[in-house]
Structure 1
Amino acid sequence: MKNQVQLITYVDRLSGGDLKALHSLLKQELAGLFGGVHLLPFYDPIDGSDAGFDPIDHTQVDSRLGTWADIKALTTDVDVMADVIVNHMSSESPQFKDFSAKGSASPYNGLFLTMEAVFPKGATEKDLLAIYRPRPGLPFTFTTLKNGEKRILWTTFTPQQVDIDVRHPAGAAYLHGILQTLAESQVKMVRLDAVGYAIKKAGASCFMMPETYAFIDEFANQARGFGIEVLVEIHSYYRTQIEIAKRVDWVYDFALPPLVLHAFAFKTARALKEWVRIRPNNALTVLDTHDGIGIIDIGADSADRAGKPGLVPPAELDRLVETIHENSRGESRKATGAAASNLDLYQVNCTFYDAMARDDARYLLARAIQFFLPGVPQVYYVGLLAGENDMDLLERTRVGRDINREYFTPDTVRAAMAKPVVQALCDLIRLRNTHPAFNGQFELLESANNQLALRWTAGEHSATLTVDLAGGTGQVQASGQAPRVFGVTAAAA
């Protein structure tokens, strides 16, 4: 992967069109900003029950966006990352329809997980309580197949997203075929979506078990055989993320967004500095993604609160969530938890710009912190444009995460690009992409608790970020360039 900033985007929600329109945008308005792009699900269809994360056919590009040839053309200018949704597939997929029509006689009988497949002797209350849940309720859907058979399907997320048995021959063949299709179109990297839930075991949590790690190892080796790097997407206790990082190419630094918000809210970098000292360096740094702002990633281990504390005490974590709601004028509260569907218990739905109270200086300093940490930065398309909470879209769909999934048009992209905060962010992106210091050595410099100082050095080249959290000010000093000052005027600095 290039050591340059990457873009995370839906094809249609940024370009206002298809893959060709996005490609044109990357070569014109966004020229020189991104070394890679993570295309959020572009499979058929992009508008199912979960914004493309429930594809009917994982090997077909939605015809409204283009073709595999368009994906391949995009790879000539930027590295492309695509999602592999390993845990489930759509109840509208040809495989599930065949299973529903034929039941036990279907060649796909066994591909789709049932409660009985995991609990052949039945499940006790203790067994069910042991299952780790990202959302309220049990992960089961009672259904009557088209042929009249009654089944209890395992559905971790929604009834339309039916979990598959990745160990079943049909499941293994299905996933292998996806990798092969992506490799043929020159996709360089895959993101394993919901892989933490991929393995189920009676009496266990069914989340990030030793068997899950083994599956991740096997899948990563298979992907590398196609020349594809693997990113694992897991929201979990922070030490779990450290362990995962030892086994795969890349992990997300999901602890960073809430820790940056915590640092500005509490005017201390204590927790953030602790994380910087121990975090894995093979991380994609993010402040925002298509999902909400993770809270579980810096909290105590939900399985053992007393023995495994988080990076932030529970009371401060609770206060942080309230601060986000206050900064967003209560808008995030309307999109989070029981207020909207997609009930992720560990996420706050809000744009990062609104979570920072639309404070341009602090927002840019947060981005600078992201860019200065070891790893490869990814910027979500809404965050790139300093997007604000889309309350109209939330009202129409009642899907909490849609508050941060705005549909832009070419005109609204151009208008956003003209905003001073976006122009300053683009300047920071270009600095991160081109300055030689970022290919050198990283240091966390000594500083007071209410300050943060990060430095990169490569020979005679250096780049230093200093942040005063108490005042919400800071600056970037890079060799050969004028200082970039945030929160105070250049004259006052």
Structure 2
Amino acid sequence: MNNQPGSNQIQLITYVDRLSGGGVSELHQLLQQELGGLFDGVHLLPFYTPIDGEDAGFDPTDHTAVDSRLGNWQDIASLASDYPVMADMIVNHVSAQSAQFQDVLAKGEASHYWPLFLTRDKVYGQAPEPAELAAIYRPRPTSCFTELALADGRSLPFWTTFTANQIDIDVQSEPGQAYLDAILQRFTENGVKLIRLDAAGYAIKKAGTSCFMLPETFEFIAGLSSKAKALGMQCLVEIHGYHQTQIDIAKRCDWVYDFALPPLVLHTLFSRDAKALKHWLDIAPRNCITVLDTHDGIGIVDAADHQGQPGLLTDPELDALVEQIHHNSGGSSKLATGNAANNVDLYQVNCSFYDALAQHDEHYLLARAIQLFCPGISQIYYGGLLAAENDVELLKRTQVGRDINRPYFTPEKVRQALQKPVVKALCALIKLRRSLQAFDGDFSQQLNDGQYQLNWQHQGHSASLRIRLADLSAELVWQHSGKVQQHCALSSLLAD
């Protein structure tokens, strides 16, 4: 099996325990058995100690340790020997419960780890200008700083870009660089081939700026990517923001997310108009990882305007999109989005993609077909693979908005979900997509007379997705070199 990530691949993105009902070895078995033949690689969402912190593993106390409830590094290495594994590298912050930060709280400036963490004073001095603080780009409605008490009685404002339990790292300090280097080393020792740089856009703070995606941030990402590449790994940069930023960052790294795709696919299906989607695919980076859903919400900012520059969708189009999602989900997405449910991400709508499309099997399968025909690595979220509905009960228990689309499956629930017609159809579509050599070649698209067509050609092989926008009916057409052309109505996969 090819153990390097490539553009003609399909990956699974999943929490280990929420899909397998167990640990890494159970997930490995699931990939080889019930999910056999579907995926070329797997993105393991945070599996570090602990997996059940405030932010579902994105607030590790020890980024170099596998949570013992999931297994150990040998289990990761075993999985990586069969599938290219992507792991998250949380570059911006570490848990307030970590040994390093607890040492800082106990000893203050005398701590060996004092330079590892950012206080407001380190960037703005003792008397920051209110205008400079107001210019900081915030992913959440509250302050980027949290006053925390040291053992000597002082209280200092630490940088906490996301939550009060996630303390920002000074990645430019010597301890900060050593911290990140230790994570890279642990990854390469255990076969990780692709790294997702989580929250990298916030990593560099500089007075007088927005502290988001600065020129220095681009340099930091490029430098970290070079270190990873020297160790045999590639980097995926995770940034929600203006679409031109994605185009720019794609020139400096191995892979970027296509976060604009989910709202554009929804807009296409809701409005029966593919002009915005076609425009984006004309200009989008080709070294991208496509998603429709992830462990986070459906991004809105990725298609929006920015500082007077036009977005991929207009404000009225985005407003209509969000309202349609809320309507399609029966209002459950509204319970999990915006200021509701302790959200730290006001630029996203929290909803399963299946519910965003009103659990309409044909429309959901069409959305996945569009994703699978777009350039780049197709990444399928575990909840999306199993057409999961919004988990309102989990949301009520945790009061964390994103949990509405972070369901827990037992092995029995996985087997049940795999029998649903829409899931069986999606699995058949994925297997067909993986069998077609046309996707090793060139992509093109046409939009005319109410028909939108996505095409691939490679050395006599061809594949097309033909969509009639008026009624959202679609046809798959493919041909292996020297063979007879094949036709299949997309909806027919639901009947098989």
TM-score (norm 2): 0.96
In the aligned structure 1, how far is the partner of 2:354 from the partner of 2:66? 32
More displaced stretch, 439-448 vs 257-266: 439-448
The equivalent of 2:199 in structure 1 is 194
Cα shift at 1:482: 4.2
SS at match of 1:379: strand
In the aligned structure 2, how far is the partner of 1:465 from the partner of 1:441? 14
- 1:3-54 CA-to-partner distances (Å, cap 9, x unmatched) read 2210000000000011111011001000111110000000000000000000
- 1:92-127 CA-to-partner distances (Å, cap 9, x unmatched) read 101001111110100111211000000015211210
Report 1:378-417 matches (<5 A): 378-417=379-418
Paired residues of 2:353 and 2:384 also in contact (CA < 8 A): yes
Q: Give the letter for the 1:204 counterpart.
A: T
Cα shift at 1:459: 2.1
In the aligned structure 2, how far is the partner of 1:363 from the partner of 1:372? 14
In the aligned structure 1, how far is the partner of 2:435 from the partner of 2:249? 30
- 1:163-220 CA-to-partner distances (Å, cap 9, x unmatched) read 0100010000000000000000000000000000000001100000101011011111
Cα shift at 1:485: 1.3
The equivalent of 2:488 in structure 1 is 484
In the aligned structure 2, how far is the partner of 1:446 from the partner of 1:334? 37
Paired residues of 1:251 and 1:282 also in contact (CA < 8 A): yes
Cα shift at 1:440: 1.3
Cα shift at 1:490: 10
Q: Quick one: percent identity of the two aligned structures?
A: 58
The equivalent of 2:60 in structure 1 is 55
Structure 1 regions of 5+ residues with no counterpart?
none
- 1:405-424 CA-to-partner distances (Å, cap 9, x unmatched) read 00001000000101111111
The equivalent of 1:171 in structure 2 is 176
Cα shift at 1:479: 1.4
Change (3 A) 1:361 1:137: same
In the aligned structure 2, how far is the partner of 1:198 from the partner of 1:386? 34
The equivalent of 2:452 in structure 1 is 452
Moved over 6 A (4+): 488-491
In the aligned structure 1, how far is the partner of 2:182 from the partner of 2:494? 56
* 1:290 maps to 2:300: no
The equivalent of 2:466 in structure 1 is 466
SS at match of 1:110: helix
SS at match of 1:340: helix
- Match among 40, 52, 71 for residue 66 of structure 1: 71
Compute the RMSD of aligned alpha carbons: 1.4
Paired residues of 1:4 and 1:432 also in contact (CA < 8 A): no
Report 1:213-362 matches (<5 A): 213-301=218-306, 304=307, 306=308, 308-362=309-363
In the aligned structure 1, how far is the partner of 2:147 from the partner of 2:155? 8
More displaced stretch, 475-484 vs 49-58: 475-484
More displaced stretch, 359-368 vs 471-480: 471-480
Paired residues of 1:362 and 1:487 also in contact (CA < 8 A): no
Paired residues of 1:164 and 1:171 also in contact (CA < 8 A): yes
Q: Give the letter for the 1:334 counterpart.
A: L
Paired residues of 1:353 and 1:386 also in contact (CA < 8 A): yes
The equivalent of 1:203 in structure 2 is 208
Paired residues of 2:425 and 2:494 also in contact (CA < 8 A): no
Structure 2 regions of 5+ residues with no counterpart?
none
Paired residues of 1:336 and 1:343 also in contact (CA < 8 A): no
Change (3 A) 1:64 1:460: same
Q: Give the letter for the 1:282 counterpart.
A: N
The equivalent of 1:432 in structure 2 is 433
Paired residues of 2:422 and 2:494 also in contact (CA < 8 A): no
- 1:452-475 CA-to-partner distances (Å, cap 9, x unmatched) read 101111122111101122202101
Cα shift at 1:149: 2.9
- 1:398-456 CA-to-partner distances (Å, cap 9, x unmatched) read 100000000001000000101111111111111222211111111112424x4310111
Q: Give the letter for the 1:478 counterpart.
A: W
Cα shift at 1:483: 2.5
In the aligned structure 2, how far is the partner of 1:349 from the partner of 1:76? 34
